[in-house]
Amino acid sequence: MSNNNKITGDMNIEEIVSNYPQTLGIFFQYGLGCIGCHAASYESLAEGVAAHGISLEAILKDINDLIANMEAEASTNE
């Protein structure tokens, strides 16, 4: 994954899911129904996971791993 596409804790939850809808599964896996919540439009990922007692590092790893795998697959198919 290029550093330009790396998801960070200060990114907006709605922005993450908008750009990478495939991440919804990860949010649900961690028990975050963030997209249904109005806070997703203004809350950062770090704020959202802190409010739910979830490890920021763990969810970031899973999200970024997913995106890296998607990018690798896309470049293989080109």
Cα dist from 28 to 1, 2, 31, 63, 70, whole Å: 23, 25, 5, 12, 19
Q: The domain that contains 37 carries what CATH number? A: 1.10.3910.10
Contact partners, residue 69, CB within 8 Å, separation at least 6:
none
Which residues span the domain enclosing 51?
3-76
Number of domains in the chain: 1
pTM here is 0.84
User: What are the tens digits of pLDDT across the range 33-61?
Assistant: 766 677 777 889 999 899 899 999 999 99
15-27 per-position pLDDT tens digit: 998 999 999 999 9
